[in-house]
Structure 1
Amino acid sequence: MTDARPRDGHDDGSNENESPEALPEGLARRLFDACPVGTVVIDSAGSVAFANERASEALGLPREEIVGRPFDPSEWAVSYDDGTPVPVDDHPVTRVFETGTPQFGFEHWIELPNGAERWFSSNAAPLFDESGGVEYAVVAFEDVTSLKRREKRLTSDHVRLLEFRTDESAVPPSIRVDDGETRIEIDSVVSLPDGTTVQYMGTSDLAASDFVTAVEEVPHYLDVRLLSSVGGHNRVEAHSESETVAHVFSSLGGRPREIVVAPDEVRFRGELPGDVDHRKAADGIRRFHDTVELVSEELVYSPSLLYDIVADALTDRQLATLDAAYFSGYFDTPRSSTGDELADRFGVTRQTFNQHLRKAEQTVFQHLFEKSGADAD
């Protein structure tokens, strides 16, 4: 095989004497560009000699800002899971150049230019020169942050119950109170493919029409639909063009629970995974209400193994489809939402929506009724 270093040029197929094992001219570069995982090539001086498009996307930098940059982990804010910076001597690239052997399964946090932290899994391998020395190190990496977060949820058996308080300006004037309390339960927040969200809420403290009107008065809601009114309890579906306070909890792996409107104040209640700091939720809520403060915090034991197993097995789209179907009343008799209405929310055909829903249902039933590998013996 010819030198696998990426290089410019195109294969014109003119070299008829080339052996079957040799790469055509320019194919190496094209292979790197087409590689579905982030790939960078480090030269013996410790600088990035090449980066493919997937690497550019994962690192949040244009390729011209990656090439020529030192691989030194301190330059990239690379750290272990506990936040400890990765020393240059422990980095797989260093070991590849020192030992000439591939390094597999290196996982680490990396801080991107926009401040976001991502969990990467990478493998590194040497490319040798004609004398047998390591000329380049090839590093292939993937962003596996979602898997890392799911792993943390599976290993955490506690939730953090939080209550935040701000002033009454957080809610429309129509539902502010002089005495007593108005409680609005948050059932679920579902993220849609177009970046908007759907929020399912219920209350027994407001008449159906007053509830719909109050939600419509909140600027970021595009539309509101009454789902049901049974026994004095009213439920609505609210479509939001942007994030909401409730979405703050969901985005951190938790769940919003309730909005309590009291005289001169509004309280937001929700839960976070036990290993998530409450300050992250506070910072998120302050983007909407800068006077918010933490009122109470309680760490409680709350195992949810079945939910976590099922959520891990479903795709994001399948989970969102199942979530929306359940909380919108699709499974109720009579139905509060039709398949056509839900398909329209997701911007897909009824057939596509049904496919996502059936696959999600099958996964849930499989985990509920079939024995696990450990139990099947």
Structure 2
Amino acid sequence: MSTKNELAAATLETLPVTVAVLGSDGEILLTNQEWRTFGPNEQPSDHVGVDYLAVASTTDDEHASRAVTGLESLLAGDQQTFTMEYPCHSPGEKRWFSMWARQFSVDGERHVVVVHLDITDRKLAEIDAEESATRVRAERQALEDVLERVDGLIRDVTDAAVTAGTRTEIERRVCRRLAAESPYELAWIGRVDVTNRQITPSEWASQDEVPLENNQLTLGQDESHPAVAALERGDSRVVSDLDSFEAAEQWWPIAAGEYIDAVAAVPIAYGEVTYGVLVVFAAETNAFADRDVLILESLAGTIATAINALETRRMLTTEAVVELELAIEDSSLFVTALADDLAATVTFRGVAYDGDGTPLAFVHVDRPEAVAVTAADSHGITDATVLSATDDGTLLELTLDSSGSFVSTLAEHGAVIRHLETDSGVADMALELPNAQSGRSMYDYLEDRFEQVELISYQEVERPAQTAQDLMSTLESALTERQRMALRKAYYAEYFEWPRSISGEELAASMDISRSTYHQHLRLAQQKLLDELFEGE
């Protein structure tokens, strides 16, 4: 049977840490297998008889000095244990160790056991965690700086857009605010002339008098310019480094290179109508990262919303309007598709919206026989209901899908359809808009939307101060949705004509309500209409 000394010695040999026992004079008395084989470039040695303190004292190393001081304190009996961590790097590997030492006595003589534990994995994890924490702190600070900058920019631009009284004022204030924001140097907003398709800067602002482009920009010709590309493609365009942009010299004078290194162009669009383009220059390459482009797109949306609100308000207050007459040849236009499918003339009567906002178009077809089944299968139409049928034709209520809802887009942007009729593949349309800019924007929208659009006439006309549109604006706020729907259906279905071509029961069925409920909605709507008509006398 093994003695206790033999068992202790065998156990010491198997420990996965380097262990040495020092005598009272610092001489190595005993080591284990890990100690003897430590060090990739050394032959195995037990180092027994080596003065550990003397060897450590010869090296000019702060960690070795600390170790000697700690071990001397143990051998002197000043303390029981001593610990320290230290690096022990080799040319090809970084390593760290933890030294643990403790004094003990044998037969009245003081000894010290020294253990070195490899803590490289833990140390590397700590370093990685600290670097990650530093990186996170830096990113958080950068994000806070960006958010503060972005918040101020968005707030100021939104304030400029909302509080300005005219479109020109909106554009001027926005350009000035953007040009004052580092690293931006120049900002301009361009409008498109519908007659020659040229982009003209309407407002601009810059730091240090940065020059504008050299040449006039024209849609369809100057696609290399980001402003033209943004308008034609309907999305943002960025040039990250003008020095590597081949067409830079064509658009920007040599002097501009002293101030600008990157450019971004963003369409100013509300729904389907484009009001222009926002162009911003920066004094740093790669200044327009994805985040920056998203910010500019958000600002452009705010600008477009504010312009649209001004245009809509002007439509309600101005005494001048723009009238457009157009001929549209495109089979995707729902009235054209319907006319082709039915081999008939289709006349648009008006539009209403159900509770989900789905547009319901009322059209007259000059065919008296059943046409609803064919109409429901026509392009742009998801459902068709016959409201009335006479010898002169059929009045239909059409539920439009997204491809047929362009009438909603027109109304959304202040355009009123005065006439829309089609046969033989060509739709004749007459629109009324609040001003010249709306007319140009709407023409651009229709030209982009349909295959062939011909402008028949364009004119600005005076209209009476009090119009049906004014009355409808007031009624829209006074009537409930059901009351508006009941009134519109009755009117478009010629319910008020005599003899009636449709009954109240049929109109009620088209709204999926009872006859009594329908007549209640209709009577309340009529009462509100008469109140508006006669109360002002």
In which range does the TM-score fall when normalised by the shorter chain?
0.5 to 0.7
Contact kept in structure 2, 1:163 and 1:269, CA below 8 Å:
yes
Paired position in structure 2 for 1:240: 400
Q: Shift of residue 148 of structure 1? A: 7.1
Paired position in structure 2 for 1:289: 450
Q: Shift of residue 327 of structure 1? A: 0.9
String of CA shifts for 1:59-114, please: whole Å, max 9, x gaps.
Answer: xxxxx9799710566644834323323649x99xxxxxxxxxxxxxxxxx998827
- Indicate the SS of the match to 1:70: helix
Q: Runs of 5+ in structure 2 lacking a partner?
A: 1-143, 178-267, 271-296
CA separation in 2, counterparts of 1:237 and 1:249? 19
- Indicate the SS of the match to 1:118: helix
Contact kept in structure 1, 2:332 and 2:380, CA below 8 Å:
no
Q: TM-score, normalised by structure 2?
A: 0.40
Of the candidates 405, 423, 429, which is equivalent to residue 269 of structure 1?
429
Matched, 1:118 2:200: no
Contact kept in structure 2, 1:186 and 1:201, CA below 8 Å:
yes
- Indicate the SS of the match to 2:369: helix
Counterparts in 2 of 1:269 and 1:193: CA distance versus 1, 3 Å: same
Q: Shift of residue 271 of structure 1? A: 1.4
Superposed, 1:137-216 pairs within 5 Å as 145=309, 149-150=312-313, 152-168=315-331, 170=333, 171-172=336-337, 175=340, 183-204=345-366, 207-209=367-369, 211-212=371-372, 215-216=375-376
Q: TM-score, normalised by structure 1?
A: 0.54
Q: Shift of residue 354 of structure 1? A: 5.3
Contact kept in structure 2, 1:150 and 1:312, CA below 8 Å:
no
Counterparts in 2 of 1:321 and 1:149: CA distance versus 1, 3 Å: farther
Q: Runs of 5+ in structure 1 lacking a partner?
A: 1-48, 50-63, 92-108, 121-143, 373-377
Counterparts in 2 of 1:307 and 1:232: CA distance versus 1, 3 Å: same
CA separation in 2, counterparts of 1:163 and 1:321? 32
CA RMSD of aligned residues (A): 4.4
String of CA shifts for 1:294-351, please: whole Å, max 9, x gaps.
Answer: 3333444443724233223223535454323311334344352636745864x77877
CA separation in 1, counterparts of 2:412 and 2:503? 25
Counterparts in 2 of 1:306 and 1:320: CA distance versus 1, 3 Å: farther
Paired position in structure 2 for 1:323: 488
One-letter code of the match for 2:474? A
Select the structure of larger CA radius of gyration: 2
Contact kept in structure 2, 1:197 and 1:240, CA below 8 Å:
yes
CA separation in 1, counterparts of 2:382 and 2:321? 35
Q: Shift of residue 149 of structure 1? A: 2.4
Size of the aligned set, in residue pairs, is 260
Superposed, 1:87-126 pairs within 5 Å as 87=173, 113=298, 115=301, 117-119=304-306
- Indicate the SS of the match to 1:195: coil
Q: Shift of residue 365 of structure 1? A: 0.9
CA separation in 2, counterparts of 1:271 and 1:214? 28
Contact kept in structure 2, 1:329 and 1:335, CA below 8 Å:
yes
String of CA shifts for 1:213-254, please: whole Å, max 9, x gaps.
Answer: 553332332221222333423321112233434334333331
Contact kept in structure 2, 1:245 and 1:285, CA below 8 Å:
no
Counterparts in 2 of 1:185 and 1:248: CA distance versus 1, 3 Å: farther
CA separation in 1, counterparts of 2:372 and 2:510? 21
CA separation in 1, counterparts of 2:465 and 2:504? 29
Contact kept in structure 2, 1:328 and 1:337, CA below 8 Å:
no
Of the candidates 345, 368, 372, which is equivalent to residue 533 of structure 2?
368
| Larger helix fraction of residues | 2
Q: Shift of residue 196 of structure 1? A: 0.8
